[in-house]
C-alpha cells in the first residue's frame, strides 16, 4: 500500500476513569480495559513512524486494528443496551459528537490557517474540497475519486488522513439502526449468524474489489465493513474459555504475532486490503478476546502506563501527526532526514497531549457544553461554518490572488497541455465505430497509428507536426493508462483494461495502417512503480510464474512480443519515454519558490534519468532485436543534457509540465527529431544551455 494508507485510531472506550455520566457507564461489561488503550498504542505508533518514513513498512495496517476495536466496542455498547431496552439514539450520538468533534474542529481551524498561508492555489483548492468533505464525513469518498496513481502526492493534502474518520462515522450512522432492527425483529439465536453473514459478504467483496479497484477497496465502507463486523461478532459471542489464563496466553501471543508480522512484513508491494487484511484483523480479535482480567502476558504488557498513555492520546495524535508531517515536507527540496522526522513526531506528541488535556477531556467530562441540545447546536454551527469555508476555498480556486502573476502563469495548466485533449479519451465503443482522431497532413488517408497512454498523447503535438511536414496523416489511439499489451493485466488495477483486444480488432480491420508507433509510461509498465506511486503493481499473463513484481519486466516483454507477432506485415516503432520526477513538475517548482527555496537548476539529474531508462530500454531493444518488423527509436533521449534534464527551455518555457508529461511546447520542439519516423534525417543531438529559474521569484 502507498504512503497514502492512513487510519483513524478512534479511542472508543466509553468507560473512563473519571465521572461516568449516563446509562452507558452503568453496565458492568463496559469497565475500563487498559489493554485496549495499549492496543491502540501498538497500532498508532507504527503508523506515525511509517508516515514519517522511519520504518514499519506495513504500519498502515493500524487502520485494520482500529476498525476491529471500533466494531468491538460500539457493538458491545449498542447491542447490550438495545437488549436491555435502555438504548438512546440521542445519548449515543451525544457521546460520539462529544468524543470526535472538539479535537477535530480545533485541528481544522489551525490547519486551515496554515494552508491559506502556505499552499499554492491548486493545492488550496483541493484542500477546500477535502475540508468540506471531511466535515461531512465523506472524505473517504472524496479521496477515492480524487486520489490515485496519477494524482498530486499525499504530502500536498493535509486532511488525507480523515478518510478513516469518515468510514467509522458512516459505520456509527448505520450500525445503531441495524442492531435495533436485528434485536427488535430477528430471534436472538440468529443475531450472530446475521452479523457473520454480513461480514463474510463484505470480506468477499473486499477481496474481489482489491483485485479490480484497490482504491475503492481501501477507502469505501462496504469493503471495510467486515473488519468492524469482526469486532462486532467478538463483542457479543466471544467464548469465555478464551479468557482462561493458559488459553489466553497462547491465543493473545499468536494474535499479537499476527499484528506485528503485518506491521513489519507488509509493504507497498502487498495488495491491500484484500485477503492480507485478514491477518492483522484476526490478530486484533484474538488479543481483544483474551483481555479483560485474564492476566495473560500480552494483556499485562499492553496495560503498562507507557502504552496506555499513548492509547489515551491516540485520537489526537492521529489527528495531528499527518498535518505536522505535511508542514515539514510540503515544500522541502529533499526528503526529510531522520532527525526532521523525529522532530515532527515529537511536535505531534506535544500537540496531541495538549489536545487531549485541554480539548478532549473538558468536553468528555461535560465541563463544556454539558447538555446534548447545546452540544448539537454547536456541532451544527461549527460544521456549517467549516463546510462554508471549504466551499469558499474551492469556489475561489484556491485564492490565487495570494501569489505572484508569474507563479500563476506557471500553474495555468491550460497554457501547457495539448490542444487536442478530445483525442485522448478513446474507448472500446469509439474503436468499434471507428470514431477516432485523424491528425497530420490534411486531406490525406491515415497510414499510421499513434498508440499509448497519456505520455503518447503529450507527444502527439510534435509527432503529428512531423507527420504533416512529410505529407502523411495518422490515427491517434490513446487513453489514460493504455498500452497495447495483449494478454497482460494487472493484479491490482483495471486502468484501461479491455482496450488491448479492441485495438487488435481495429488493426485487423484497417490493413492500410502500416505503421504502429507506441510509447507510454515505460518505467511504470516495466517496474509496476513510479515516482508518483511507490506502491507496487504486479503485471501478469498466462506465463506468470508467481514471482510477483519481479515478473513485471517479463510481462511487458511478452505483451509487446504478442502484439508485434500478431501483425508481422506491420512496422512497429517503439519510442522511449520522457524522464520523470517531482523535479520536472511545475507545481512542485511553484511550491519551492513560493516558500523561498532557491532552485538554481530546475530539472532532473541526468544520472537519475539514466537509471529510469535502464529499467525499460533493454526490454524495448530486445523486442526490436527479436522481431524484424520492430524498430526502437530513442528520440526522447535528446531532452537531457550531459548533467541535467531541464524543466525549462533557455527562454523560460517549460519542456515538461507535471513531472512526466511533455508540455505542448516541449512536444512541438521534438517535431524535427520525430521526422526520422517518417523518413526524415536523423538530427544531431542538441547542445543544452541550462535555463535559469525562468526569472520567477517568490514575492
Which residue carries 456549517 as its cell? 384
Q: Which three cell numbers stand for residue 487?
A: 494478454
Bridge partner list, 448: 474, 515
Q: What is the 3-state secondary structure (H, E, C) of 29-60?
A: HHCCCHHHHHHHHHHHHHHHHHHCCCCCCCHH
Q: How far is CA 491 from the centre of its chain?
A: 17
Question: ∠ CA 97-98-103 to the nearest 5 degrees?
Answer: 95
Cα atoms in the 13 Å half-sphere on the side-chain side of 557: 19
Q: How far is CA 118 from the centre of its chain?
A: 22
Q: Which three cell numbers stand for residue 458?
A: 503529450
Question: ∠ CA 669-672-677 to the nearest 5 degrees?
Answer: 125
44 closest CA partner among 85, 7, 94, 91: 7
Cβ-based burial of 429 (10 A; exposed 0-12, middle 13-18, buried ≥19): exposed
What's the CA gap between 247 and 296, in Å, rounded? Answer: 9
What's the CA gap between 282 and 450, in Å, rounded? Answer: 50
For residue 385, what pLDDT is reported? 98
Cα atoms in the 13 Å half-sphere on the side-chain side of 383: 15
13 closest CA partner among 29, 5, 606, 4: 29
For residue 102, what pLDDT is reported? 97
Asked if 480 contacts 421 with a C-beta cutoff of 8 angstroms, the reply is: no
Helix (H) or strand (E) segment spanning residue 448: strand 446-452
Cα atoms in the 13 Å half-sphere on the side-chain side of 434: 8
Which regions of the chain are under pLDDT 70? 1-30, 147-152, 492-497, 680-699
What's the CA gap between 643 and 608, in Å, rounded? Answer: 10
Cβ neighbour number for residue 628 with a 10 Å cutoff: 10
121 closest CA partner among 452, 444, 410, 516: 410
Q: Which three cell numbers stand for residue 573?
A: 516503432
What's the CA gap between 215 and 217, in Å, rounded? Answer: 5
Q: Which three cell numbers stand for residue 332?
A: 522541502
What are the residues whose beta carbons fall under 8 Å from the beta carbon of 274, sequence distance 6 or more? Answer: 206, 207, 210, 211, 217
For residue 684, what pLDDT is reported? 56
Asked if 35 contacts 303 with a C-beta cutoff of 8 angstroms, the reply is: yes
Residue 72 to residues 206, 296, 661, Cα–Cα distance (Å): 20, 20, 48
Helix, strand, or coil (residue 413): helix
Could you give the domains of the chain? 23-402 (no CATH), 417-579+605-653+660-678 (3.40.50.1110)
233 closest CA partner among 168, 181, 284, 164: 284
What's the CA gap between 9 and 396, in Å, rounded? Answer: 33
For residue 347, what pLDDT is reported? 98
Q: Which three cell numbers stand for residue 122?
A: 491548486
Q: How far is CA 433 from the centre of its chain?
A: 35
Q: Which three cell numbers stand for residue 577?
A: 519515454
For residue 212, what pLDDT is reported? 80
User: What are the tens digits of pLDDT across the range 374-388?
Assistant: 999 999 999 999 999
Q: Where are the alpha helices (DSSP H) in 85-120?
A: 89-118
Asked if 217 contacts 274 with a C-beta cutoff of 8 angstroms, the reply is: yes
Q: Which three cell numbers stand for residue 547?
A: 514471482
* DSSP conformation letters of 273-320: SGGGGHHHHHHHHHHHHH-SS---HHHHHHTSHHHHHHHHTHHHHHHH
Asked if 35 contacts 302 with a C-beta cutoff of 8 angstroms, the reply is: yes
For residue 243, what pLDDT is reported? 80
Cα atoms in the 13 Å half-sphere on the side-chain side of 691: 22
Cβ-based burial of 282 (10 A; exposed 0-12, middle 13-18, buried ≥19): middle
Asked if 223 contacts 209 with a C-beta cutoff of 8 angstroms, the reply is: yes
Cβ neighbour number for residue 166 with a 10 Å cutoff: 23
Strands 489-490 and 539-540: antiparallel
What's the CA gap between 370 and 17, in Å, rounded? Answer: 18
488 closest CA partner among 476, 504, 506, 465: 504
**Considering just the CA atoms, what is the radius of gyration of the chain in Å?**
28
Q: How far is CA 120 from the centre of its chain?
A: 21
633 closest CA partner among 698, 573, 689, 561: 573
Residue 160 DSSP one-character state: G
Cα atoms in the 13 Å half-sphere on the side-chain side of 553: 12
Q: How far is CA 681 from the centre of its chain?
A: 45
Asked if 65 contacts 333 with a C-beta cutoff of 8 angstroms, the reply is: no
For residue 489, what pLDDT is reported? 87
Helix, strand, or coil (residue 66): helix
What's the CA gap between 171 and 165, in Å, rounded? Answer: 10
- Alpha-carbon dihedral angle through residues 161, 162, 165, 167, given to the nearest 10 degrees: -80
Question: ∠ CA 299-300-301 to the nearest 5 degrees?
Answer: 95
Task: List phi, psi (to 5°) of 644.
Answer: -150, 150
What's the CA gap between 297 and 52, in Å, rounded? Answer: 30
What's the CA gap between 500 and 453, in Å, rounded? Answer: 12
What's the CA gap between 568 and 596, in Å, rounded? Answer: 56
This prediction's pTM: 0.88
Task: List phi, psi (to 5°) of 15.
Answer: -85, 125
Amino acid at each position: 500500500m502507498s504512503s497514502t494508507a492512513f487510519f483513524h485510531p478512534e479511542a472508543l472506550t466509553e468507560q473512563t476513569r473519571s465521572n461516568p455520566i449516563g446509562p452507558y457507564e452503568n453496565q458492568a461489561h463496559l469497565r475500563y480495559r487498559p489493554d485496549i488503550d495499549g492496543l491502540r498504542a501498538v497500532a498508532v505508533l507504527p503508523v506515525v513512524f511509517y508516515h514519517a518514513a522511519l520504518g514499519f513498512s506495513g504500519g498502515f495496517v493500524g487502520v485494520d486494528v482500529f476498525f476491529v476495536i471500533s466494531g468491538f466496542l460500539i457493538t458491545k455498547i449498542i447491542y447490550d443496551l438495545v437488549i436491555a431496552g435502555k438504548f438512546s439514539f440521542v445519548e449515543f450520538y451525544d457521546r460520539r459528537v462529544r468524543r470526535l468533534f472538539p479535537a477535530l474542529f480545533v485541528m481544522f481551524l489551525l490547519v486551515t490557517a496554515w494552508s491559506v498561508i502556505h499552499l499554492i492555489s491548486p493545492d488550496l483548492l483541493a484542500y477546500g474540497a477535502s475540508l468540506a468533505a471531511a466535515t461531512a464525513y465523506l472524505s473517504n469518498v472524496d479521496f477515492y475519486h480524487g486520489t490515485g496513481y496519477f494524482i498530486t502526492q499525499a504530502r500536498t493534502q493535509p486532511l488525507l488522513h480523515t478518510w478513516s474518520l469518515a468510514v467509522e462515522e458512516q459505520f456509527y450512522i448505520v450500525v445503531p439502526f441495524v442492531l435495533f432492527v436485528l434485536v427488535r425483529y430477528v430471534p436472538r439465536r440468529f443475531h450472530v449468524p446475521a452479523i457473520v453473514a454480513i461480514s463474510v459478504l463484505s470480506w468477499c467483496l473486499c477481496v474481489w474489489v482489491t483485485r479490480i479497484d484497490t482504491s475503492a477497496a481501501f477507502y469505501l465502507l462496504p469493503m471495510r465493513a467486515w473488519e468492524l463486523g469482526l469486532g462486532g461478532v467478538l463483542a457479543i459471542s466471544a467464548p469465555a474459555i478464551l479468557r482462561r489464563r493458559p488459553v489466553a496466553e497462547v491465543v493473545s501471543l499468536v494474535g499479537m504475532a499476527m499484528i506485528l508480522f503485518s506491521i513489519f512484513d507488509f509493504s507497498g508491494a502487498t495488495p491491500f486490503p484484500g485477503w492480507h487484511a485478514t491477518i492483522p484483523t484476526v490478530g486484533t480479535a484474538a488479543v481483544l478476546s483474551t483481555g479483560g482480567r485474564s492476566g495473560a502476558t500480552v494483556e499485562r504488557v499492553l496495560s503498562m502506563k507507557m502504552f496506555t498513555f499513548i492509547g489515551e492520546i491516540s485520537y489526537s495524535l492521529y489527528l495531528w501527526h499527518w498535518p505536522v508531517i505535511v508542514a515539514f515536507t510540503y515544500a522541502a527540496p529533499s526528503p526529510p532526514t531522520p532527525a526532521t522526522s523525529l522532530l515532527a513526531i515529537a511536535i505531534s506528541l506535544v500537540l496531541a497531549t495538549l489536545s487531549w488535556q485541554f480539548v478532549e477531556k473538558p468536553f468528555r467530562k461535560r465541563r463544556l457544553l454539558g447538555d446534548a441540545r447545546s452540544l448539537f447546536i454547536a456541532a451544527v454551527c461549527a460544521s456549517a461554518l467549516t463546510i462554508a469555508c471549504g466551499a469558499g476555498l474551492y469556489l475561489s480556486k484556491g485564492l490565487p490572488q495570494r501569489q505572484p502573476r508569474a507563479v500563476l502563469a506557471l500553474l495555468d495548466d491550460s497554457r501547457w497541455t495539448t490542444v487536442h485533449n478530445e483525442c485522448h479519451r478513446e474507448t472500446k465503443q469509439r474503436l468499434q465505430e471507428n470514431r477516432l482522431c485523424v491528425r497530420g497532413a490534411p486531406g490525406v488517408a491515415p497510414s499510421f497509428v499513434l498508440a499509448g497512454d497519456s505520455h503518447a498523447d503529450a507527444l502527439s503535438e510534435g509527432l503529428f507536426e512531423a507527420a504533416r511536414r512529410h505529407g502523411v496523416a495518422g490515427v491517434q489511439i490513446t487513453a489514460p493508462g493504455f498500452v497495447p499489451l495483449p494478454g497482460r493485466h494487472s493484479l491490482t488495477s483495471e486502468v484501461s483494461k479491455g482496450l488491448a483486444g479492441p485495438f487488435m480488432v481495429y488493426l485487423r480491420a484497417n490493413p492500410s495502417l502500416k505503421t504502429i508507433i507506441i510509447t507510454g509510461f515505460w518505467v511504470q509498465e516495466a517496474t509496476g512503480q513510479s515516482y508518483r506511486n511507490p506502491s507496487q503493481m504486479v503485471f501478469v499473463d498466462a506465463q506468470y510464474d508467481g514471482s510477483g513484481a519481479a515478473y513485471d519486466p517479463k510481462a511487458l516483454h511478452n505483451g509487446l512480443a504478442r502484439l508485434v507477432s500478431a501483425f508481422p506485415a506491420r512496422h512497429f516503432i517503439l519510442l522511449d519515454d520522457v524522464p520523470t520526477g517531482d523535479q520536472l513538475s511545475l507545481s512542485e517548482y511553484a511550491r519551492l519558490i513560493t516558500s523561498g527555496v532557491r532552485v538554481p537548476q530546475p530539472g532532473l539529474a541526468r544520472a537519475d534519468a539514466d537509471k529510469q531508462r535502464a529499467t525499460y530500454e533493454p526490454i524495448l531493444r530486445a523486442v526490436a532485436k527479436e522481431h524484424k518488423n520492430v524498430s526502437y527509436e530513442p528520440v526522447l533521449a535528446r531532452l537531457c543534457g550531459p548533467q541535467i534534464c531541464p524543466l525549462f527551455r533557455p527562454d523560460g518555457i517549460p519542456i515538461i509540465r507535471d513531472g512526466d508529461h511533455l508540455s505542448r511546447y516541449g512536444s512541438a520542439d521534438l517535431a524535427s527529431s520525430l521526422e526520422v519516423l517518417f523518413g526524415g534525417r536523423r538530427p544531431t543531438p542538441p547542445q543544452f544551455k541550462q535555463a535559469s529559474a525562468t526569472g520567477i521569484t517568490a514575492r
